[in-house]
Amino acid sequence: MKRAFAIILAVMLLILPAVMSACDNTPKNTGSVKTSGSPAAPTTGTAPVTTEVKEILPDIPEGVTYPDTTFTILNYCLDSAYETSSYDFYVSEERDGELINDAARERINQIEEKFGITIENVPSNDPETLLKTAVGSGLDTYDIALLRINKALEIAQNGTLVDLNTIEYIDLEKPWWDQHCVRDLSIAGKTYVATGDISNVDEQLCVCIFINKTLAEEKNLPDIYKAFEENKWTVDTMHEYVKDASEDLNGDGNYDTNDCWGMASASNSAFLFLNSFGASFAELDENGKPVITLGSTRAAEAVAKIVEVYNDKQSIIWADGVGGGWSNVNKMVTDGKICLIPANIYKFSTYIIMEDDFGVLPLPKLDSEQENYIHQVFTASAQGLVVPTTCSDFDKVGIITEYLAYLGNKIMVPAYYDSYLLGRVSRDIQSEKSFDIIFSTKKYDIGYAYNWQGIAGTIQQAISQNGSFASIVDTKLEAAQKDADDLYEKFLSSLD
């Protein structure tokens, strides 16, 4: 069963398949790519029918080569970008038996052989500045770059980046490009940054709930997966759960790092629940114009719940409120003192060393009436593909980039899932189902990404003040909308 699911989920994330109804705004073209069919349901008196599904291939010309040329990728250093980077291009010269490294090596080998090129990965702690400097000097130094999404959107305003829709051989409707990103971040129909299977960092920067199942059993807590399966996994369910899990272990009347906590987080991370609860900082309208939505009734309801949960000081420990910060809290997690923690998926590399059994859940809904789970991608760290305007051969860049993404779909994604998510992180079928939901309900909040007038910090302010969200937001809404309008007009005119 697990191996079968691994195959399904691996191809699913080739850009996270899910074709949902128009009412939930889930984009089209996220279906999985299958190279072999599955048996159809048998009809009476006949043998089972096997349906062969043709593999989707990139629409690039056959036989094109670029002998003795270098394809240069500007990237982050491995120790930057919040402990994540596009390590897909940091590989050893030879295979070493480590599945992800060997898959990355195979992808590079295939593309170098197919096009007669050499892939060069250029690491930097500040690739945005390097790219802006090169473009400002009119230099075609880098073919593509993998930049933090927030930074990419910022420099797109200055004419540094190309609208990817204008590059002939990059087809953003193919399943190896993340349609959630295209849907959420394409202002005025222009897409200056894209995510997908060219790199798996956007998956690493999705947020989910980590649960210490051993601790939950020791405290005789209700079956949290049952609540999930019965559509009762809501913020109120989560809050009651973490209340029941907390315990003053030494009986001194003070809850601190020596005690057991229901949940660990940080006040500056609470924003991740805004999208989870069906609200947002901003959305794009039908014309691709950003509209600030933080003043909506839904946002007010969502933030009220966030403030309530995060100010429960006997159930939630803040990493930004204890000595040692996340280092200390992470140790509490691995020591079995934290029951739940909302975390980016890359953090599991820290937690999987623990002896306790653990599992994965989606972020909760606001209430059971909410139709879908929603999972924000942390755009301050997640990286996306960009192409500089000084590119001297857009056909070459388009062809090679599209093939890199296609091979990421075909080679890198299965390795990532087999080796890491399904091989090391997922320990039960419920966690596998959770990953399915998480990756098919991604959200790139454009209001958080641009952070007009500092709106991304309003939730932390409301938590610190234990309320007053309406007055905090009211001081920012008008100016934030003006900034968003100005950007829209700029994208419509000066960047044409």
CA distance 378 to 376: 6
Residue 96 confidence (pLDDT): 60
- The three state secondary structure string of the chain is CHHHHHHHHHHHCCCCCCCCCHHHCCCCCCCCCCCCCCECCCCCCCCCCECCCCCCCCCCCCCCCCCCEEEEEEEECCCCCCCCCCHHHCCCCCCCCCHHHHHHHHHHHHHHHHHCEEEEEEEECCHHHHHHHHHHCCCCCCCEEEEEHHHHHHHHCCCCECCHHHCCCCCCCCCCECHHHHHHHCECCECCCECECCCCHHHHCEEEEEEEHHHHHHCCCCCHHHHHHCCCCEHHHHHHHHHHHCECCCCCCCCCCCCEEEEEECHHHCCHHHHHCCCCCEEECCCCCEEECCCCHHHHHHHHHHHHHHCCCCCEEEHHHCCCHHHHHHHHHHCCCEEEEEEEHHHHHHHCCCCCCEEEECCCECCCCCCCCCEEECCCCCEEEECECCCCCHHHHHHHHHHHHHHHHHHHHHHHHHHHHHHHHCCCHHHHHHHHHHHHCEECCHHHHHCHHHHHHHHHHHHHHCCCHHHHHHCCHHHHHHHHHHHHHHHHCCCC
* Amino acid, single-letter form, for residue 142: Y
Confidence of residue 417 (pLDDT cuts 50, 70, 90): confident
> Residue 184 corresponds to which amino acid?
D
- What was the pLDDT predicted at 8? 38
Question: Tens of pLDDT along 80-105?
Answer: 444 444 567 776 666 665 777 888 89
| Lowest mean pLDDT, pick from 17-31, 453-467, 472-486 | 17-31
Query: Which region among 18-27, 141-150, 356-365, 389-398 has the lowest average model confidence (pLDDT)?
Result: 18-27
Say what percent of the chain tops pLDDT 90. 66
For residue 51, the model assigns a pLDDT of: 56
* 347 confidence band (pLDDT: 50, 70, 90): confident
Delimiting residues of CATH 3.40.190.10 domain(s) in the chain: 69-204+379-425, 207-375+452-481
pLDDT at 488: 95
* Other beta carbons within 10 Å of 68: 8
> Contact 130/124 with Cβ under 8 angstroms?
yes
pLDDT at 78 (0 to 100): 67
On whether the 207-375+452-481 domain is CATH 3.40.190.10, my answer is yes
Compute the average pLDDT of residues 474-487: 96
The answer to whether the Cα torsion of 159, 161, 164, 169 is positive or negative is: positive
CA dihedral 97, 103, 108, 110 (to 10 degrees): 100
Task: Tell me the average pLDDT across 158-186.
Answer: 96
Between 6 and 323, where is the model more confident? Answer: 323
Beta carbons within 10 angstroms of residue 219's beta carbon: 16
| % of the chain residues with pLDDT over 70 | 84
Mean pLDDT of the residues in the chain? 85
Residue 192 has pLDDT above 60, yes or no: yes
Question: How far apart are the C-alpha atoms of 138 and 390, rounded to whole Å?
Answer: 6
Mean pLDDT of the 255-271 span: 93
249 vs 239: CA distance, rounded Å: 20
Q: Residue 301 corresponds to which tokens in the numbers above? A: 């309801």
Looking at the domain that runs over 69-204+379-425, which CATH code has it been given? 3.40.190.10
pLDDT value at residue 45: 36
Q: What is the reported pLDDT for 55?
A: 86
Q: What is the pLDDT of residues 10-36, one digit of tens each?
A: 433 333 333 333 334 444 333 333 222
Residue predicted with more confidence, 41 or 458: 458
Phi, psi of 143 (to 5 degrees): -75, -50
Residues 131/75, Cβ–Cβ less than 8 Å: no
pTM of full prediction above 0.75: yes
Question: Is a pLDDT exceeding 50 seen at residue 70?
Answer: yes
pLDDT at 2 over 50: no
Which two tokens mark 408? 């990421």
Distance CA 264, CA 486 (A): 39
Q: Quick check: 6 pLDDT over 60?
A: no
Bridge-based pairing of strands 117-124 and 69-76 is: parallel
What's the pLDDT tens digit per position in 208-243? 999 999 999 999 999 999 999 999 999 999 999 999
Overall average pLDDT of the 448-472 stretch: 94
**Pairing relation of β-strands 207-212 and 358-361?**
antiparallel
| pLDDT average, residue stretch 443-472 | 95
Class of residue 392 by CB neighbours under 10 A (exposed 0-12, middle 13-18, buried 19+): exposed
Instruction: Report whether pLDDT(43) > 60.
Output: no
pLDDT of residue 87: 63
Poorest-confidence range of 139-143, 185-189, 272-276, 325-329? 325-329
What pLDDT does residue 36 have?
Answer: 27
